[in-house]
Amino acid sequence: MADHFRAFSFVDRIFEVEPGVSIRGEYRVPDDLDFFHPSLLGESVGQIAAWAAMAAVDFEFRPVAGLAGRIELGVPVKPGDLIELSAELDRADKDAVAYAGVAKLNGESAIFLKRALGPMLPMSDFDDSEAVRARFDLLCGTGAEPGAYGGIPDLDWKQVDDDDDGKSVAIFQVPGPSPFYNDHFPLRPVFPGSLLMEVCMTFVNSVANSQSTPEKGSRWKTLAISRMKIRDFTSPGDQHTLTAKQTDISEDAATWAVEIQKEGQVTGSVRVLLIAED
């Protein structure tokens, strides 16, 4: 399949790996893109950690997104940039993976993941283990040819309501069938948790800036997300309801809590931390 290991893969090379313990590699952001979503930096860190975890269990299991204690955004990344990736794993077995990781641009942190935890599920539900193993060998050897990622559909969300309780509501229509699903994952298309968090960040940013101006600064921008929790898979074409509420505010910082629901059931939650910028 042409999109496998291309359409949504964000590790080009692995320089060092101790399965289940640590890993270091790199990713070159394609230079023909208009924009590189910040959440995809988080995806790249998650993916390199996943390689170390999968190698520890002989590629019989693979991790999926679960929890992230904190994800901090750093220097911006643009098309053409070379990202250094690394992760330290506290745990990697057939049940779960726990790790922290960072993506750096010229030695400066572009994104930092702390206290990430995800269940490990049978590889056979998602991909061919021998194909995954072969990919790992390639990444550890000569590396993959950069530039494969070609973008994703627009992440369309629409604000529908602000209620008296201070909550803002939006509907997010998950993109339908698209090439990137063939790589996430070949046997079971799943809308990436990283992109779901991107939608939440964008929604909160929009609502926060429409509702208020920080006392110190001219606008709000996203500093980090925390307490990210993904409880269920999102499939192509799903419709999510996002409910956001400001839970804390100071003169230069604000926190918003977002709940994600599908068909009335809570499928995820996250807190978005904003800071004031000039």
Residues at the contact surface with other proteins, assessed by CB under 8 A: 66-67, 90-91, 95-96, 98, 117, 119, 227, 229-231
Q: Give the Å distances, CA to CA, from 256 to 50, 176, 195, 246, 267.
A: 29, 28, 18, 4, 17
Query: For residues 229 and 245, which CB has a smaller minimum distance to other proteins in the complex?
Result: 229
Instruction: Output the smallest distance, CB 148 to other proteins, in A.
Output: 31
Minimum distance, C-beta of residue 117 to other proteins, in the bound complex (Å) = 6
Q: Which is nearer to other proteins, 102 or 230 (CB)?
A: 230
Shortest distance in whole angstroms from residue 66 CB to other proteins: 5
**Judged by CB, which is closer to other proteins: 115, or 219?**
115
Residue 245, phi then psi, degrees to nearest 5: -145, 135
Residue closer to other proteins by CB (options 78, 227) is 227
**Closer residue to other proteins, CB minimum distance, 93 or 145:** 93
| Smallest distance from other proteins to CB 266, Å | 9
Kindly state the smallest distance separating residue 273's Cβ from other proteins, in Å.
Answer: 15
Q: Cβ 200 to other proteins, closest distance in Å?
A: 16
Q: In the complex with other proteins, which residue's Cβ is closer, 207 or 270?
A: 270
